[in-house]
Amino acid sequence: MDYIGPVSSAVMAIIWLVYLQLILSQYRRNNRPYLIFHHAQNENPDALCLLVNMGERPVHVVCVQAVIKMVSGEEHKLAVTEFERINVTEQDVQQTLRQGPLLNGGYLILGTFRDIIEKTQNEIGLNASLEDVECLELRAAVIHAPSKHPVGAKRAFVLKHNTGTCVYPKDINTRQMVKRKDKQEVAQWIESELHPRDNNDKSSVE
């Protein structure tokens, strides 16, 4: 019976390790940013596109970009400079913003897919129709509350022009740009919009 004590101690140690692992996993999950680019109404190009904060913490939206790829292979990028902010506590308040905080459960109305594409084309002086666009990639760079480091999200949508234009997500999920290897790319999105005077200062992404 001398072995009962050590075995009980080992079992209790394993239980505590599992318990601590569950607590750590829950903590990480609760503090992980999760942003979604959502196509609100089927495949219609006139449907609204939303940026939704599904994380537990608020985020500060630094920039949102649209990158359109033409059927010809050309690519064009532009900031989505006008969108409305709506949060879960002030559903009746809508403001035209460029940047700002986004609470848990809140979302930004980025406009319709057609508006985003046509605005990009107009800003760069491109005389093209919706049928000339092959793909739209949306990107968002944010500051997540628990960290000073910028993180991001991106999602691509494919345009099909068989019987009228339809918009389909290229992937099921929005890609979360939260890993160390993604930070430099997200920082480049921000730099391309804000044009910081000291481009040698990489402290925010290291």
Residue 2: per-residue pLDDT: 60
Q: Report the C-alpha gap between 103 and 91 in whole angstroms.
A: 12
Residue stretches of the chain with pLDDT short of 50? 91-98, 203-206
pLDDT per position as a tens digit, 88-134:
555 443 344 445 678 888 888 888 999 898 888 787 777 778 889 99
Q: State the DSSP code for 174.
A: P
Residue 79: per-residue pLDDT: 85
Residue 26: per-residue pLDDT: 65
Domain ranges of the chain: 1-30, 32-194
Chain center to CA of 41: 19
Evaluate if pTM is beyond 0.85: no
Spatial CB neighbours of 141, under 8 Å, sequence gap ≥ 6: 61, 62, 63, 64, 150, 151, 152, 186, 189, 190
What b-and-e string marks burial along 122-131, b requiring 16 or more CB atoms within 10 Å of the CB? eeeeeebebe
Residue 94: per-residue pLDDT: 35
Radius of gyration in angstroms for the set of CA atoms belonging to the chain, rounded to a whole number: 22
Could you tell me how many helices (H) and strands (E) the chain has, helices first?
3, 12
Nearest-CA neighbor of 82 among 109, 51, 122, 118?
Answer: 109
Residue 149: per-residue pLDDT: 79
